[in-house]
Amino acid sequence: MSAQAQDAATATTITIRPASGWLALNLAELWEYRELLYFLIWRDLKVRYRQTAIGVAWVVIQPLVTTAIFAVIFGRLAGLPSEGVPYPVFIFAALLPWQMFSGAISRAAVSLVSNANLLTKVYFPRLLVPLAAVLSGLVDLTVFLVILAGMMGWYRVTPSWAVLTLPLLVVVAVLAALAIGIWLAALNVRYRDVQQAIPFLIQIWFLASPVAYSASLVPSGIWRVLYNLNPMTGVIQGFRWALFGKAAPDPLTWISVTAVVVLLVAALFYFRRLEDSFADVV
Amino acid sequence: MAEVALRAQALSKRYRIGASRPGYRTLRDALSEGLTRTLRTAYGLVRLRPRRSRTDDTIWALKDVSFEVERGEVVGIIGRNGSGKSTLLKVLSRITRPTTGSAEISGRAGSLLEVGTGFHPELTGRDNIYLNGAILGMKRAEIARKFDEIVAFAEVGKLLDTPVKHYSSGMYVRLAFAVAAHLEAEILLVDEVLAVGDAAFQRKCIRKMQEAGEQGRTVLFVSHSATAITRLCPRSILLDAGYLQTDGPSHQVMNAYLGTGIGLVAAREWSNPAQAPGNDVARLRAVRVRGEDGSVREAMDIRRPVAIELEFDVLRPGFVLVPNCHFFNEESVYLFVTSDLDEEWRNRPRPVGRYVATVWLPGNFLAEGTLIVGAALSTLTPLVVHFYERDAVAFQVIDSLDGDSARGDYAGPMPGVVRPILQWTTRFLPPVHDGEGARYA
């Protein structure tokens, strides 16, 4: 064996030990496995609409139909205010981050369990699984953005300069989805209750976010404060602000963003602590 | 100095068991259990009920397993179901953590616990090659570089862009193994993935494994098949109930394995005549399986002759005695009977004394596998069976892949209970051309 090969070998000595307490996050390893992350996202996308008659069209149909229904019920029948923006555009702009967020957490929550065969047969940083589940939502988001641009053109709505903050708002939504998704994924390995609770959670969260209505409808006072602590309130309001130049998100959003970051860091450590037992429990 | 590629130190793994506990828990279970535990602790404090010991519902799948593997060694890990061999592989593959102990692996390690991990039925063969490669730890560039080689190895040809759910199971396995076989790991941890696929493909896989060893790669191969291990691994490790039982040259370890496996050995002796099989005429004292060199052996090369030795005492004179041996395979198929036809004692009453009768089975005669031998002594007129010890001894016949046994260059599973090398001749008839086209003479 050549000296070179020997160097390479000694450079990659792995030590296997029993788990002990809280572990370092090892984000470097995550980076090393970035190609696998890419392939997991790619698989998610490729498989999602296989053997469906209209395939990728589903990405478009779901939010469009939802938008149409909401526009009729909330805009026409209930006559809710939409801050001067055509109701369909008003709703679609909110559905964009919302669908990404809700889809991401529901996929992430079941991701480890549905990839049990991988967990029990191969080693890789387990975090890649919920990560891929969340990030694959970004592709749908891109498609939505194109549709939104079309709708805005149709309704002649011109965005303000604030549209440049959109990527930042997407990042907040992704971080929020990760923070929740990673917790749920890890918990679901042990407690399948999570899987059952997800639809409720999403439904309640949906109603507690200004997707189908304007945030201005929420009465001020303690309710308003609580409402603004929901990170998705900030994100959705932010989207409308960035696209239509309407009311900017409440300053309380900063608190919810901070909370999201704290929750995410906690999720990462919690996940790291549990990941070694996934293969035994799942 | 030989370099150590893998070192396991007192590896142990404890699992929780219990029929009442499924693989996962519901939140209600956790809550009620938490409550019970609190109450139990409270009870325990006032000594109403002793606390249940934690060892009740746990099992050590692996206990204090220590060994070292040098770079370039090909080591087999053998044991019955539940012996801990798969757990060991999982711990070394970092899929699960040991409960105590540690291990060190120097070099890029790749584990193949099953073929086609992460294969998605809806994806095409091409997609799955990339996906599976990435899951096994290959870089995209590496997969792209080996892509053609993988496709050629898998022999999927035109179906490369068809979803793998339309593949035959053989084709599916071939593709999956092809990806795995091209994993460029310095240390390979392999489960019994060879036990799949059609025969011709198995042969390719075995070649590939042998190549891995020849290229100086370190291989840990887990199997419960003594034949596969002896073929591929010069050294092996026997696990039993989580403990490392034996570690050494494969043929020795196989002896131990066969011992634990069916409770049979290659040599049996009855030191106490009162307990020995037999009657007042004759008693069996020992049965042994020997190789050409005279040593007692449990594992035999298919090409070499094997001797079965019957040692018995004649207690009363005046009987014509015929030693005979009965052969069974591991499925209890009665293979054949052989009896002593030697003129020296044929139709001649034997005087009192000790006799050692030996029968030689030629090489290239029995099929590979476990052979179980029954030993008997009979008088024919009138028919009396003085003793018949049914499962007296056992031995293993191992067919190497050197090409000079009856299997020739074929490496797959071979049916049949005998495996003789027979003479073949071929007559070649060249075509004869006349006005009406080609004919054969």
Contact A18 B101 (CB under 8 A): yes
Residue B163 burial by Cβ neighbours in a 10 Å radius (0-12, 13-18, 19+): middle
Which of B9, B97, B165 has the most A C-beta neighbours within 10 Å, making it the best mutation to test the interface with A?
A: B97
pLDDT of residue A63: 84
SS3 content of chain A, % helix, strand, coil (to 5): 75, 0, 25
Q: Which residues of B165-187 are buried (b: 16+ CB within 10 A; e: fewer)?
A: eebeeebbbbbbbbbbbbbebbb
Residue B96 sits in the same domain as residue B221: yes
Contact A122 B96 (CB under 8 A): no
Residue B83 sits in the same domain as residue B177: yes
Residue B232 sits in the same domain as residue B167: yes
Residue B193 has pLDDT above 70, yes or no: no
- Contact criterion met (CB below 8 Å) for A262 and A176: no
Min mean pLDDT across A105-114, A130-139, B198-207 is at B198-207
DSSP 8-class letter at A47: H
Please state the pTM of the whole predicted model. Answer: 0.70
Task: Name the band, by pLDDT with cuts 50, 70 and 90, for residue B203.
Answer: low
pLDDT of residue A2: 39
Instruction: Choose among B99, B122, B186: nearest Cβ to A51.
Output: B122
| Stronger pLDDT, B428 or A13, i.e. the higher one | B428
pLDDT of residue B21: 43
Q: Write down the residue that tokens 């591929």 correspond to.
A: B232
CB-defined contacts A:B, below 8 A: 132
Rounded-to-integer distance, Cα B333 and Cα A97, Å:
69
Residue B9 has pLDDT above 70, yes or no: yes
Task: Name the band, by pLDDT with cuts 50, 70 and 90, for residue B20.
Answer: very low
pLDDT tens figures, A43-54? 988 888 776 777
pLDDT of residue A265: 93
Indicate if the alpha-carbon torsion angle A10, A11, A17, A20 is positive or negative. positive
Rounded-to-integer distance, Cα B73 and Cα B92, Å:
16
Task: Please state whether beta strands B243-249 and B235-240 pair in parallel, antiparallel, or not at all (unpaired).
Answer: antiparallel
Provide the residue range defining the domain that includes B121.
4-8+64-260
pLDDT of residue B325: 96
Which of B63, B69, B122 has the most A C-beta neighbours within 10 Å, making it the best mutation to test the interface with A?
A: B122
pLDDT of residue B311: 96
Could you give the C-alpha distances from B382 to A223, B79, B386, in angstroms and in order? 106, 47, 12
User: Considering the domain boundaries, does residue B410 fall inside one?
Assistant: no
Which of B106, B114, B117, B142 has the most A C-beta neighbours within 10 Å, making it the best mutation to test the interface with A?
A: B106
B24 touches chain A (CB under 8 A): yes
* Cβ-Cβ contacts under 8 Å for A213 (sequence gap 6 or more): A74, A80
Token pair, residue A47, equals 């498989």
Average pLDDT over residues B327-350: 88
| Stronger pLDDT, B80 or B68, i.e. the higher one | B68
Task: Name the band, by pLDDT with cuts 50, 70 and 90, for residue B259.
Answer: low
Rounded to the nearest 10°, the torsion over CA B69, B72, B74, B75 is 0
Average pLDDT over residues A159-188: 91
Residue B80 sits in the same domain as residue B196: yes
Contact A18 B98 (CB under 8 A): yes
Token pair, residue A97, equals 């981050």
Residue B409 burial by Cβ neighbours in a 10 Å radius (0-12, 13-18, 19+): exposed
At position B119, the amino acid (one-letter code) is F
- Contact criterion met (CB below 8 Å) for B220 and B75: yes
Tell me the CATH number at B92. 3.40.50.300
Rounded-to-integer distance, Cα A155 and Cα A167, Å:
23
Token pair, residue A76, equals 């026409």
Contact B120 A9 (CB under 8 A): no
Average pLDDT over residues A14-35: 80
B71 touches chain A (CB under 8 A): yes
Give chain B's mean pLDDT.
Answer: 83
Token pair, residue B36, equals 């019970």
Residue B196 sits in the same domain as residue B108: yes
Residue B50 has pLDDT above 60, yes or no: no
Residue B230 has pLDDT above 80, yes or no: no
Give Cα A15 to chain centroid, integer Å: 35
Tell me the CATH number at B335. 2.70.50.60
Could you give the C-alpha distances from A280 to B99, B116, B246, B353, in angstroms and in order? 12, 21, 27, 63
Residue B276 sits in the same domain as residue B354: yes
Residue B321 sits in the same domain as residue B350: yes
Residue A97 has pLDDT above 70, yes or no: yes
Average pLDDT over residues A93-104: 92
Residue B142 sits in the same domain as residue B256: yes
Nearest CA distance, A139 vs chain B (angstrom): 19
Residue B312 has pLDDT above 90, yes or no: yes
Nearest CA distance, B112 vs chain A (angstrom): 8
CA angle B159, A49, B113 (to 5 degrees): 55
Rounded-to-integer distance, Cα B341 and Cα B324, Å:
10
Question: Which among B208, B225, B260 is the end of a domain?
Answer: B260
Residue B358 has pLDDT above 90, yes or no: yes
Question: Which among B225, B260, B295 is the end of a domain?
Answer: B260
Average pLDDT over residues B47-60: 55
Instruction: Choose among B106, B111, B135: nearest Cβ to A13.
Output: B106
Q: Write down the residue that tokens 């995209």 correspond to.
A: B140
Average pLDDT over residues B382-396: 89
Contact B118 A118 (CB under 8 A): yes
Token pair, residue B297, equals 């052996």
The number of domains in chain B is: 2
Residue B69 sits in the same domain as residue B206: yes
Instruction: Choose among B3, B109, B137: nearest Cβ to A14.
Output: B109
Residue B255 sits in the same domain as residue B271: no
3-state secondary structure of B395: strand
* Cβ-Cβ contacts under 8 Å for A191 (sequence gap 6 or more): B24, B25, B26, B27, B30
Residue B70 sits in the same domain as residue B138: yes
Average pLDDT over residues A94-120: 92
User: Considering the domain boundaries, does residue B435 fall inside one?
Assistant: no
Residue B115 has pLDDT above 70, yes or no: yes
Rounded-to-integer distance, Cα A234 and Cα A257, Å:
9
Contact A18 B135 (CB under 8 A): no
Q: Write down the residue that tokens 């938490």 correspond to.
A: B34
Average pLDDT over residues B329-350: 88
Task: Name the band, by pLDDT with cuts 50, 70 and 90, for residue B441.
Answer: low
Neighbours of B125 (CB within 10 A): 25
Residue B255 sits in the same domain as residue B320: no
In order, the DSSP letters of A63-77 are HHHHHHHHIIIIIII
User: Considering the domain boundaries, does residue B414 fall inside one?
Assistant: no
Indicate if the alpha-carbon torsion angle B340, B341, B342, B345 is positive or negative. positive
Min mean pLDDT across A20-29, B173-182, B417-426 is at A20-29
pLDDT of residue B424: 94
Residue B384 has pLDDT above 50, yes or no: yes
Residue B315 burial by Cβ neighbours in a 10 Å radius (0-12, 13-18, 19+): middle
| Stronger pLDDT, B175 or A161, i.e. the higher one | B175
Task: Name the band, by pLDDT with cuts 50, 70 and 90, for residue B82.
Answer: confident
